[in-house]
Amino acid sequence: MYYSSIYIKVMYLFGFLLLRVFSKGDQNVPYDVHYNIIYGNQHVVSFNQGRELQISMDNSSGSGFGSKMNYGSGYFHMKIKLPNRDSAGVVVAFYLHSNTNLHDEIDFEFLGNREGQPYNLQTNVFANGEGGREQRIHLWFDPTADFHNYKILWNNHQIVFFVDKIPIRIFKNNSNIGVGYPQQPMQLLATIWDGDDWATNGGYTKINWSFAPFKANFKDFKIGGCPIINSNDNHNCNSQDYWWNKRKYWELSFKQRRLYKEYRAKYITYDYCDDIPRYSIPPQECSINMIKKKM
């Protein structure tokens, strides 16, 4: 579809003004300001005048919602309460994804479990269609009992995954030495879907459909991101006019580094960098991290 340069500039300005308004105002805006339902409409229910959204899955369908715009950098977050009771095989995802064949992607994936067993939180990073960078942690709280804040900081220097205020993973931009790094415009999405064949105990623990529908609740629909109107938009999303691109966000703070080391030591259950059977030669970014640990 053809867009005139005037139309693009007007739409960009409109999106930027929306961003400025909602980044300074009430975080708990209605979901439909920034998001649309993308599938499973019959499994989506809104509460509190659209300020809370519930998506669910049964054996007929899952459901999900996605941002109206794509973004080129940002600090994205969502308050999420996960399905309770027996949720083995159920995957709830909150992630960024580019609409391209060789796609970029930044994932939070919550892997359900038998009742009473801990949720696994899996993170992953894709660049130009290449993923395989899974890490998993056990959450140190019951994510089904209340809402918790899950955040992704994405700028041209690093990607940081946060659970509440705690950084649980860092992925640095090492593209200067050939390591893939997400740089394509991406849409922000949240979905619930059937991961029966892999999500719990490698797929050995299956979904118990007698507990369906499985329900996940979301709120806090503000988006802090650099909006991209279309693929030809050359706006600089790495500009330090956006606060998440400023130098202080190129590295973790001292306090954040301490929390990062403390929580990973206690709760990490899988790191692709340590999976020798899978990677006899560690991916290049893993070798870089090992060198830094020894310095």
pTM as predicted = 0.89
- Structure tokens of 254? 């001292």
| Closest listed residue to residue 78, CA positions, set 224, 188, 218, 216 | 218
Torsion, Cα 284 94 24 243, to 10 degrees, reads 10
Task: Please choose, from the candidates 67, 258, 240, 253, the residue with its C-alpha nearest in 3D space to the C-alpha of residue 155.
Answer: 240
Chain length of the chain? 295
Q: Which pLDDT value is given to residue 24?
A: 43
In 3D space, the residue among 168, 172, 178, 173 whose CA is nearest the CA of residue 138 turns out to be 168
- Looking at the annotation, which residues are catalytic? 105, 109
What element of type H or E holds 244? none
The one-letter code for the residue type at 200 is T
DSSP class of residue 169?
Answer: E
Number of structural domains in the chain: 1
Residue ranges making up the domain that contains 164: 5-294
**Burial of 40: CB neighbours in 10 Å, binned 0-12, 13-18, 19+:** buried
Q: What is the pLDDT of residue 231?
A: 65
> What is the residue-level pLDDT of the chain in tens, covering all 295 positions?
444 444 444 444 444 444 444 444 456 799 999 999 999 999 999 999 999 999 999 999 999 999 999 999 999 999 999 999 899 999 999 999 999 999 999 999 999 999 989 999 999 999 999 999 999 999 999 999 999 999 999 999 999 999 999 999 999 999 999 999 999 999 999 999 999 999 999 999 999 999 999 999 999 999 999 999 876 665 799 999 999 999 999 999 999 999 999 999 999 999 999 999 999 999 999 987 654 554 3
Which pLDDT value is given to residue 290?
A: 53
Strands (E), 28-139: 35-39, 44-47, 52-57, 63-81, 90-97, 105-111, 120-126, 135-138
- Of 18, 63, 59, the C-alpha closest to 37 is 63
To 5 degrees, how large is the angle CA 286–CA 270–CA 245?
55
pLDDT computed for residue 287 by the predictor: 82
Q: Which tokens go with 162?
A: 């946060």
| CATH number of the domain within which 26 lies | 2.60.120.200
> What does the pLDDT read at residue 45?
98
Distance CA 162, CA 152 (A): 6
